[in-house]
Amino acid sequence: MLANAFVAGMPPVPEPPVSVFQRPPRAGRKLRIGLLSADFKQHPVAQLIMEVLEHIDRRAFELIGYDVAEPHESYWRQRILAAFDEVVAVRDLDEKSFVERLRQDKLDVLVEMQGDTADTRVWWLRHRLAPVQMSWLGFIGSIGAGMTDYIIADRHLIPADSRQHFAEKVIWLPDFSFPADTQREAPPPPPRVVEGLPDDAVVFCSFNAHYKITRATFEAWLAIVQQVEKGILWLYDQNPDSTARLRQAAKDLGLAEERLIFAKHKPHIEHLARLQLADVALDSWPYNSGATAIDTLWCGVPLLTKSDATMMSRVATGMLKTLGLPELTTTTVEEFIRTGVRLGRDAGLRRDIKERLIAARDHSPLYDPQRFARHLEKAFDMAYARFEQGLAPDHLEVPALESAPAQDEAAAARSLQVLLERADYYLQKEKLDEAEPLFREALARDPASPMARYGLGMIHGLRGQYEQALELMQQAAQAEPDNARFSRHLEIMQKKAQKNHLAELQALLKKGLTSHQKGDKDAAESCYRAILETSPRHPMALHYLGLIEVQRGDPAGLEKIRRSLEIQPHNPTFLQNFEKAKKIVPDNQAQEGFRVYE
């Protein structure tokens, strides 16, 4: 095997100390499960596993996340890190320190979730860091002998007759070995014109990364589109170079320019909204869709796939069969094209499949994270039991639950980060009535949440309620002083509040002066006092309230006029009125002769 040959070329490592295999009896204690990845961030691996981790039974298991990712702010990162009982940042550890730290933590099971991908630490597992080592999800294939004991898969991805091609022993989960996050709610789709799609087109899409698109795949896609009237192909605009090459290839194959449309990157929640505009999704092969397929099917879009002889080429087939839609799986290019054309020409068939996909959200094992969590826990237990019994790793088949699992606490409410992500989406669209109840629910769940306070503050501000806005946004900025978004928007809101305050003061002053000129001193006094409540050094309000008090024989008015002069010492009207007031107040005669501004 190529993987084994690669591993064989690595330098040898010393035998692990016996302490790596010394553990107290399993009975009566939690299993310590470590999960290692650089993808605890805005990444498909995080997207897939978040909800399942939230459902792991903390009475029986302790989850430790070994985080290799660069620190950054995202809802996904916040959510997945919150799903662990402990998070250990290991990105900056060298190989020796990394090995020492993980051995020191005395894990029972270490799950490697990355394989040979960016920022991997998988090759350090050859030092033996835990009694049981597994790989799952992040790398769909074998990583070679001596790294992990097991690979978590299912009968779709690794049929029994393929297990001999893997250095690891296979743990077969029932159903499917890719979990799905069911807490996501796709917002309503935008009009097609927003995405540059014709209203009457049959939209075939693929939002796969461009490296998955082989020439054979692309030619099959175009063969389908060209045989469907008003068919167009909607792809992800991943980068200028590969997009340009795809445009040229489409032109060379005879597809009219206007029938190939590229979609720019959007935040995930906005992507789920636009994804619903597609009529049919076309899969890539031999590297199938993974999280992209989960998104597509969750949004009710029929996905057509082609399976092959490799584990990665069976992923979408496994999903579709788990959903009860085997008719969307094919095994030859000819069958793929034929089925794609039929889907494109038959709107009724597409509607039927869409309805089945939407209904599957409520009953399919693909969308049952509690069931998946119970199966994953059983996989940990079975593998660890073999170690505890002194048995070598062997192929294991996790039995399927015979009945639906009891609802656990994690199922009772949406994740806080899911609430905030959706609320933030509506806030950025200025759909305040949709955003507000979500932010309030988040704040009720976590009264200290800076994001919830920020969001509610923004909503108040957008409604012109600046006092409430500034209070909440200042609390958010104080809680997270390094949050550039909070600080920037607080500064903007302060300027808006000041501008609004000045406009309100100007309107009040105008009303007060008009009432004063008309002789309605009570109304004028009310306006001046309202101004001074928020701006106690407002010179005009001070001055003219002082005039009214002097006119009523109150000596306190003279002090207000004097204070207005301290603020505007060169105001000629203030000076004239002050001289008159000084003469009148001692005689308690202050009814006439004062000048009031227009």
| Distance from C-alpha of 216 to C-alpha of 202, rounded to nearest angstrom | 22
All structural domains of the chain: 2-173 (3.40.50.11380), 192-365 (3.40.50.2000), 416-482 (1.25.40.10), 500-587 (1.25.40.10)
The structure tokens listed for 20 are: 């790596």
186 and 206 Cβ atoms separated by less than 8 Å: no
| Distance from C-alpha of 550 to C-alpha of 560, rounded to nearest angstrom | 10
Q: What is the pLDDT of residue 9?
A: 77
Residue 349: HSE in the Cβ half-sphere, 13 Å Cα cutoff: 14
91 contact partners, CB below 8 Å, separation of at least 6: 38, 67, 68, 69, 70, 119
Q: What is the pLDDT of residue 591?
A: 45
| Distance from C-alpha of 557 to C-alpha of 287, rounded to nearest angstrom | 84
Q: What is the pLDDT of residue 8?
A: 74
| Distance from C-alpha of 449 to C-alpha of 124, rounded to nearest angstrom | 38
Q: What is the pLDDT of residue 413?
A: 56
354 and 325 Cβ atoms separated by less than 8 Å: no
Classify 588 as helix, strand or coil. coil
pLDDT tens string, the chain, 598 residues long: the values are 567 777 777 888 899 999 999 999 998 899 999 999 999 999 999 999 999 999 999 999 999 999 999 998 899 999 999 999 999 999 999 999 999 999 999 999 999 999 999 999 999 999 999 999 999 998 999 998 889 999 999 999 999 999 999 999 999 999 999 999 999 888 999 999 999 999 999 999 999 999 999 999 999 999 999 999 999 999 999 999 999 999 999 999 999 999 999 999 999 999 999 999 999 999 999 999 999 999 999 999 999 999 999 999 999 999 999 999 999 999 999 999 999 999 999 999 999 999 999 999 999 999 999 999 999 999 999 999 999 999 999 999 999 998 777 666 655 456 899 999 999 999 998 889 999 999 999 999 999 999 999 999 999 999 989 999 999 999 999 999 999 999 999 999 999 888 888 888 888 889 989 999 999 999 999 999 988 887 888 889 999 999 999 988 888 999 999 899 888 888 888 888 888 888 877 644 444 456 665 4
Classify 460 as helix, strand or coil. helix
Percent helix, strand and coil across the chain, each to the nearest 5:
55, 10, 35
Our measurement of the distance from residue 154's CA atom to the centroid of its chain's CA atoms, rounded to an integer in Å, reads: 28
Classify 446 as helix, strand or coil. coil
Q: What is the pLDDT of residue 590?
A: 41
